[in-house]
Structure 1
Amino acid sequence: MKKWHLWVAASIGLVVIAGMMIREFDVEVLSRIELSPRFFLGVGLAVLLFAVQNLMLTLRFRHLCQRKLSIAEAFRINVLCEFTSAVTPSAVGGSGLAFVYLNREGISMGRSIFTMFAALLADEAFLAISCCLLYFCVPSHLLFSLADGDGISTDTTNEWIKGGVQVVFIVSTLIVVVWTAILYLLLLHRPQILGWVLKGCCKIPFLHKFLPKVEKFSEEMTMASEEAKLEGGRFWLQLMGYTSLAWLSRFAIVVAILVAFHCQGNMLVAWCRQWVMWMISILSPTPGGSGVAELMFRLYYADFLPDASVAILAAMLWRAIFYYPFLVMGTLVLPKWIARN
């Protein structure tokens, strides 16, 4: 493949991204924006939080690889992983190809696989712990429904929405908790268990052809586990520190957007609702939760925003800051990375 073929593909990707943004653009709604110092402060803060999120993820990759990657290389890995997440269903995510990206950057296969599973374990552990804390510490009438500072309406539709959102949140949280426990067990204690189960499944005639791949995967899990056992408690605490700051910054972007639009209400509640939105979006079959995330934003923050049209604009700006940049950066970085590797 020639390089100009890759750049043509990148250009097509950028055109598609521009088309997505133009489709959501509304001049009439745009005219309602009050371009005050507070608006620019909120947008600037959102961009800063986005930068902090990516800095923490970049440092996390460098930490997991024992500083064998430069800042630029670790940032490139982060962009590629986030780009993969942005163009695949949320349940798939970008972690699945992290070991490929890392190995192509010169990291050993064992360390690459360990980095992939350790990053995934840290993400899932953060979500599992924080979601459980939110559920038991934040009143449900604030977390799962359209609420104002004094209470909520008893509208039947609102109660139906609250019940549905709460059920999905609980189910998603339970799935994440179980998945975290499985990852912990496989990575740090019994990496061979999954191999045994999968090999047993391969005894079924029509699955027998997958046995070589299962055996290879089992060996890779053992390699990752051996790498994990070499690290001490300080390593894991530092990993959770980077992970927590990245997620907290990601979820705080919405607060900055609400500040930009002069929204009223409890911003701590608005921040907490980001956990609920994320846990719902991970069940979305669309790439990066597209469609579901925007719909949830307009519905979930309607009590903070003055009207529906402003909510649409706020949702577009929110996605433009934390979602579209990964599409742009990934479209630019991936062709170069493929050509180089």
Structure 2
Amino acid sequence: MPVTQPTQEQQLLDKLRPSRIVLPVLLGLSVVGFMFWRSYKPGDLAPLANASPLWLLVTLLVLVARDAGYVYRIRHISERVLSWRASLDVIMIWEFSSCILPSAVGGTSVAPFLLNKEGITLGKSLAYVMVTALLDNLYYVVMVPLVVWLAHEGLYPDENLNSGFMTTLKVAFGLSYVMVTAYSALMLYALFINPLSVKRVLVRLFSLRILRRWRPKAYQHANEMVWASTQIRGNGAGYWLRAVLSTVFVWTARYLVIGCLIAAFVPTTPSEFTMMFARNITYKVILLVAITPGGAGIAEGAFPTFFGKFIGTPTMTNFIVLLYRIVTYYLYLVFGAVFLPRWITRVFGRRPEPGSLGL
């Protein structure tokens, strides 16, 4: 209702104000700067002179294809209620919110509001966001056994690493897979089979004394599953096939970026390229548990551990870390700062005052 619009708008602006860019940029660049300072030796960047134009072009095409895939997917999942422009705005702001909020929160907390302000009912907005989250999780659930089979022990970095760290990483990887699988199964059952029974189980579970403090959030999430189930039932096989294929496309492109960047500067064999793709899966676990906005600082610091062996010198590794974060992270901070004011102007019919954006 019009009366609640200022409150909703302020909540969005509080989460997405561009001033939040400062902390992740400082964290990320400080870590990369320190790594360069510690490792730089004259001549280490010589491979830059032999960069492959073909692989640089492939990297650019993969990045563009990934974003185009995201735009197509949200437009398709929203049953084409969103225009192409609205879909692009939603994806850019969604990515921006993922960059400035902790990885555990991501853009999912903002996405329903974005869709709702594009004229989609709240129930359907929640349903569409849940569908994207479910498909993303299912991609992970299916891909992990595949990359484990392909990479075996090579899935984990083991070069001169502390055995305690390796054990912790393997345990974290295993636990994350079990949790994502269990949550995906719960969502599938709740959305397509019996949402009310899942709601009852969640409410009873979070009524236990040890979990009682999270009961309101659990109750809200259970209600959202019930609403989402009502909204998405009845979609045909064609709808789900395109949603699944677009999800496979965008996540595969997302995981290909690192391999393409490395191949642009360092000769890479097909088996090494496959290994880099596989290691992205374990690298993602580090980002999932990161408490900093968008994993800033942690993503940069962990990168050499997972991919340094494929690159060579620490200095070249640090250069590729910086380049990777520029094209997959810092670029979206810039895009968000550009798209967000334009989106507010279009959706709310006025330009936000500079102070309201935290500038």
TM-score scaled by length of structure 1 = 0.83
Is residue 2:123 matched to residue 1:117?
Answer: no
Q: Letter of the aligned partner of 2:315 in structure 1? A: S
Distance 1:59 1:42 in 2: 25
Name the CA shift for 1:186/1:160 in 2 (closer, same or farther; >3 Å). same
Distance in 1, matches of 2:22 and 2:212, equals: 42
Which residue number in structure 1 is paired with residue 155 of structure 2?
143
| Alignment partner, residue 95 of structure 2 | 82
Q: State the match for 1:72 in structure 2.
A: 85
Per mean C-alpha deviation after superposition, the further-off stretch among 130-139 and 86-95 is 130-139
Counterpart among 248, 251, 260 of residue 256 in structure 1: 260
**Paired position in structure 2 for 1:133:** 146
What secondary structure is seen at the aligned counterpart in 2 of 1:82?
helix
**Change over 3 Å in CA distance of 1:260–1:91 after alignment to 2:** same
1:195 paired to 2:230: no
CA distance in 1, matches of 2:76, 2:264: 35
CA distance in 2, matches of 1:128, 1:30: 44
Distance 1:199 1:14, change over 3 A: closer
User: Secondary structure of 1:67's partner?
Assistant: coil
**Given that residues 28 and 300 in structure 2 are in contact (C-alpha distance below 8 angstroms), is that contact kept between their aligned partners in structure 1?**
no
Equivalents in 2 of 1:214, 1:182: separation in Å? 13
Over the matched positions of the two proteins, sequence identity in percent amounts to 24
Q: How has the CA–CA distance of structure 1 residues 262 and 61 changed in structure 2, closer, same or farther, with 3 Å as cutoff?
A: same
Change (3 A) 1:104 1:167: same
Amino acid at match of 1:171: L
For residues 292 and 203 of structure 1, the distance between their equivalents in structure 2, rounded to whole angstroms, comes to 35
Could you tell me how far apart the structure 2 residues matched to 1:11 and 1:222 are?
34
Which runs of no fewer than 5 residues in structure 2 stay unpaired? 1-5, 7-12, 349-359
Q: Is the 8 A contact 1:81 1:97 kept in 2?
A: yes
Give 1:318 deviation, angstroms.
Answer: 0.7
Match status 1:166 vs 2:170: yes
| Structure 2: distance between partners of 1:240 and 1:51 | 19
Deviation at residue 56 of structure 1 after TM alignment: 0.8
Residue 74 of structure 2 aligns with an amino acid whose one-letter code is F
Name the CA shift for 1:216/1:284 in 2 (closer, same or farther; >3 Å). Answer: closer
2:335 matched to 1:322? no
Higher helix share: 2
Q: Write the deviation string for residues 108-133 of structure 1: whole angstroms up to 9, x where unpaired.
A: 22221110110000000000111122
Structure 2 residue identity aligned to 1:45: V
Shift in Å, 1:197: 4.3
Please tell me whether residue 287 in structure 1 is matched to residue 299 in structure 2.
no
Look up the equivalent residue of 2:285 and give its one-letter code.
Answer: M
Q: Report the equivalent of 1:54.
A: 67
1:213-228 to structure 2, matched below 5 A, reads: 218-228=222-232
| Partner in structure 1 of residue 118 of structure 2 | 105
- For residues 105 and 29 of structure 1, the distance between their equivalents in structure 2, rounded to whole angstroms, comes to 52
Q: Structure 1 residues 218 and 103 mapped into 2: Cα distance closer, same or farther (>3 Å)? A: same
SS in 1 for 2:316: helix
**Which 5+ residue runs of structure 1 have no aligned equivalent?**
147-152
**C-alpha distance in 1, partners of 2:285/2:208?**
36
**In the aligned structure 2, how far is the partner of 1:136 from the partner of 1:250?**
20
Q: Distance in 1 between matches of 2:177 and 2:166?
A: 16
1:216-268 Cα distance to aligned partner (Å, 9 max, x none):
66554323112221112222121110001101101100011111222445111
| In structure 2, distance between residues paired with 1:71 and 1:253 | 25
Question: Which residue identity does 1:184 align to in structure 2?
Answer: L
| Residue 158 (structure 1) shift | 5.9
Once residues 214 and 279 of structure 2 are traced to their aligned partners in structure 1, the CA distance between those partners, rounded to angstroms, is: 45
Equivalence for 1:313: 319
Q: What secondary structure, in the 3-state scheme, does the structure 2 residue paired with 1:128 have?
A: helix
Quick check: 72-81 or 116-125, which moved more?
72-81
Given that residues 17 and 324 in structure 1 are in contact (C-alpha distance below 8 angstroms), is that contact kept between their aligned partners in structure 2? no
1:91–1:282 Cα contact (<8 Å) kept: yes
| 1:125 counterpart letter in structure 2 | L
Secondary structure at the counterpart of residue 107 of structure 1:
coil
The alignment of Structure 1 onto Structure 2 pairs a total of residues equal to 324
In the TM superposition, residue 306 of structure 1 has moved relative to its aligned partner by 1.9
Asked if 1 retains the 8 angstrom alpha-carbon contact of 2:102 and 2:290, the reply is yes
How far apart in 2 are the matches of 1:188 and 1:13? Answer: 38
Q: Cα RMSD over matched residues?
A: 3.2
1:180 — aligned with what?
A: 184
**How many Å apart are 1:41 and its aligned residue?**
3.3
